[in-house]
Amino acid sequence: MNTTFNTTQSVGDIVSIMPQASEIFKAYHIDFCCGGNRSLSEIVKEQKLSEEEILNKLEMVFSENQKSTNKHIDFRKTSKSELIDYVINKHHTYLKKNLPELSELLTMILRVHGPNHTNLFTIHKQFHSLKTELDQHLIKEEEILFPMIKEYEKHPSKELLDKINKVMKETEDEHDTAGDVIKEIRSITDQYKLPEDVCTTFELTYFKLQELESDLFEHIHLENNILFKL
């Protein structure tokens, strides 16, 4: 039987080959963005997961994709400039819209539910630390890093590559920090489990935090595992 995936591959490479693998990995709490350079074998052993079960699910989804007429863009084959435009238009636009909205929602539920759910104080603090980091991060990417990568694609030089690598290292460190905060929020919320005595605004806030996590992981994956491979 021919197979597409094996456990020697990095989880970042697997998601690059098949973006829907991210949903499988998220279900098993496998970090495919900041930890995308780690092999699936290493993670399976560390987290005591079933290697056969995960590989079977990956192959099943891949087989279904081959029959589907809805093909995903393979960003490994597009230009860096095209991928940058995609990241800005999809993921940066998402953050610029949703970070302020989440800030308001978290402040609102903290005022109403904080006395009975004190973990909201920690969540509120963690989120706003993340928001500050991401606000600056987007500016660094859009005004410094991305223009340099686009220029390098047109006129490559060692001098320019050295500058890019320096900023890229800072950016990857920021990705690690953001990923750690998101994982901490997931832990504090007990996997976004809703208390019984909360309102629809509380429910919406948790939903949007999960949406943020999903978008941010996809965003970081595209940059760390594809865009930054110069």
Per the document, the length of the chain is 230
Buried b (16+ CB within 10 A) or exposed e, 33-63: bbbbebbbeebbeeeeeeeeebbebbbebbe
| Furthest C-alpha separation in the chain | 60
Quick check: 186 pLDDT over 70?
yes
What integer best gives the mean pLDDT of the chain?
Answer: 93
Q: What average pLDDT does range 120-126 have in this prediction?
A: 97
In-domain check, residue 1: no
Pair 210, 171 in one domain:
yes
Which residues are CB-contacts of 144 (< 8 A; sequence separation ≥ 6)? Answer: 167
Residue with tokens 């809805």: 70
User: Ramachandran region of residue 190, left (φ > 0), alpha (ψ -120 to 50) or beta?
Assistant: left
Whether 54 and 15 map to the same domain: the answer is yes
Kindly report the pTM of this predicted structure: 0.85
Phi and psi dihedrals of 10, rounded to 5?
A: -75, 150
pLDDT tens digits, one per residue of 187-227: 999 999 999 988 999 999 999 999 999 999 999 999 999 99
How confident is the model over 69-104, as pLDDT tens digits?
A: 566 788 999 999 999 999 999 999 999 999 999 999
Q: Which domain holds residue 131?
A: 80-227
* For the chain, percent of residues with pLDDT exceeding 70: 97
Q: At CA 225, angle to CA 224 and CA 227, rounded to 5? A: 70
Is 72 part of any domain? Answer: no
- Tokens linked to 123: 């969540």
Same domain membership, residue 122 and residue 209: yes
Rounded CA-CA distance 87/141 in Å is 10
Within this chain, do residues 105 and 137 fall inside the same structural domain, yes or no?
yes
pLDDT (tens digit, 9 = 90+) per residue, 144-183?
999 999 999 999 999 999 999 999 999 999 999 999 999 9
Three-class secondary structure of residue 39 per DSSP? strand
Tell me how far the alpha carbon of residue 220 is from its chain's centroid: 4
Burial group, residue 191, by CB count within 10 angstroms (0-12, 13-18, 19+): exposed
Does the residue 201 lie in any domain?
Answer: yes
Percent of the chain past pLDDT 90, that is, above it, reads 83
Q: Is the pLDDT of residue 136 over 50?
A: yes
- Clarify whether residues 56 and 104 are in a common domain: no
Per-residue pLDDT at 70: 61
